[in-house]
Chains A and B, each alone.
Chain A
């Protein structure tokens, strides 16, 4: 493994558009802009949080960094190489260094596979492991995620959601990836097992030095486990950088509203909760200017027409708002 690059994953100007069905035969083709001009750097070994409300393009961005989606514009660099420019064979090699944990563990595990087959699948695909090697590795992995050898030949439907997610984690980590996308890894699970799964993820990170892209709705969780973070709104990054700095000094009105919503649960806090009015605009025809302007408490007349670029206000703290910088 090369540790030359401090930056493991980098997106620059990344846009992902999905074509939308036309309403009339000759109307202009329309696109849903799921991610627009996203430029983020994820450092090696850190946990990078990605926050935003449902439908703002978090999964889209994550899938684009994994090469599961082709960007409409912009680049994704993994360890310094553009993943969309690589020849197929090399890209396949590279993919083994990235993995993903899905939101719903039930659907990410083939119900016809046994636990052994599930966890060993990446090894089988990669090839070059004997059956006994596979078994040894699977058992070791299984034990490190808190399951036992006795579970080896059971089917995923025999397990609870939390246990299924453990299996998914074991499977994702068996090839010792460098980059792991956790797409809301706990939101489909019982609240009672959230902490267990998160602790497991953190333990594994400590042991293996993996870089996480951690997607979540839950700011409290992000605050606790993430080193750096980005907040997205309607496909755009509104604030990005060191998470301590962002939590200590949120600048974008949207970030402020999100954080105040979490902090207002704290009774001792004297901060007033900022409530947002209005609905999220449609990603099909987003506002030309700031995408948040329709709901922004601090919006001014020209916000609708003039776009704000991400600007660095302090070291490793970027904001896309013309009035907060």
Chain B
């Protein structure tokens, strides 16, 4: 099929144009650059970090202050190089964030499109499930599930995905409903198009930008949540992550010794990555919703849902922090 190749080419051109649009957007460019830097850091951590924090033989004295050999000193509890831990921590944070974000994007949009496009009983069942899952308090359930199934990242990602797809699928569904009733879909139907064609040619491209935007914002939210879990000691205990660095710093009493850098470093890591993904997401949102579309139902709806989602994430962060200190 020649047209398939052609379609792919067009798709490529269009996504290229989209990336260029983000680049032109000031906030979007900042987000893109920082995300890119973080990805590079994660991929090349081995070469960037001066020490391998996973290597027990490279551990030195505990609680050293910053110096030229140890840029951010060493950790109070284990004597690992804090700067190297910071670099390696990017891996966990970013991969959990991005993998979960992508999985949610796929699951949320597939279920959203199914509900919106197929309608009827599928729609009803899916939307009831969403209604129920959205009111379930996520954090306690996460704690229970990780306690049962172990603290591996696989379990954590699965839990995040399980409780993360609902808002996206709702947003996608409402957009699909709009597209489904549009004149151009009717025109395609009149030209003899089947359901599959309309789905892949009109509906999915019509929601793809929404999904991209939501994914960027979800990544940010998930990275916060992951840091929170690790801080609580619910992350993978053998992995080095920013949340765990914070937890270790606190349990080791870095504030007591005045080692503020061991807290600030992972804090900046978390902040930077969340900040970058948020910028990216908000930039895409602004590109997608020029003033004209501000009032559309779908826009208002995903606006609200996003606020609600972030609020929930921040709320669970607070819960984690108060819970964490209460444990001490």
The smallest C-beta distance from B183 to any residue of chain A, in angstroms, reads: 4
Q: Indicate if A112 sits at the interface (CB-CB under 8 A).
A: yes
Chain A residue contacts of B186, Cβ below 8 A: 68, 100, 102, 108
Chain A residue contacts of B202, Cβ below 8 A: 110
Cβ contact of B190, chosen from A68, A107, A112, A130, cutoff 8 A? A68
CA distance A312 to B187 in the complex (A): 36
A126 touching B188, Cβ below 8 Å = no
- Give the contact stretch, choosing among A31-39, A45-53, A90-98: A90-98
Question: What mask results when residues 245 to 257 of chain A are scored 1 for a CB within 8 Å of chain B, else 0?
Answer: 0000000000000
Cβ contact of B187, chosen from A92, A108, A112, cutoff 8 A? A108
B191 touching A108, Cβ below 8 Å = no
B188 touching A171, Cβ below 8 Å = no
- In this complex, how many residues of chain A approach chain B with their Cβ under 8 Å: the count is 28
CA distance A232 to B183 in the complex (A): 24
Q: Which residue of B lies closest to A109 (CB)?
A: B184
Given A112-B205, A112-B206, do A125 and B191 touch, yes or no (CB 8 Å)?
yes
Q: Indicate if B43 sits at the interface (CB-CB under 8 A).
A: no
- Give the contact stretch, choosing among B2-10, B163-171, B221-229: B2-10
Q: Which residue of B lies closest to A111 (CB)?
A: B184
Q: Indicate if B182 sits at the interface (CB-CB under 8 A).
A: yes
B2 touching A130, Cβ below 8 Å = yes
Chain B residue contacts of A98, Cβ below 8 A: 190
Q: Which residue of B lies closest to A174 (CB)?
A: B191
Q: Indicate if B192 sits at the interface (CB-CB under 8 A).
A: yes
Cβ contact of A112, chosen from B2, B14, B189, B193, cutoff 8 A? B14
Q: Indicate if B197 sits at the interface (CB-CB under 8 A).
A: yes
CA distance A114 to B2 in the complex (A): 18
Q: Which residue of B lies closest to A68 (CB)?
A: B186
A124 touching B192, Cβ below 8 Å = no
Q: Indicate if A41 sits at the interface (CB-CB under 8 A).
A: no
List the interface of chain B (C-beta within 8 A of A): 2-3, 6, 10, 14, 182-184, 186-194, 197, 202, 205-206
Given contacts A93-B192, A95-B190, A112-B14, 16 further A-B contacts (CB under 8 A): A66-B190, A68-B190, A96-B191, A96-B192, A99-B191, A102-B187, A107-B184, A110-B184, A110-B202, A117-B10, A121-B188, A125-B193, A125-B197, A126-B191, A131-B6, A171-B187
A-B contact pairs, 19 of them (CB 8 A): A92-B194, A95-B190, A95-B191, A95-B192, A100-B187, A100-B190, A102-B187, A107-B184, A109-B184, A110-B202, A112-B14, A112-B205, A114-B10, A122-B192, A125-B191, A126-B192, A131-B3, A131-B6, A171-B187
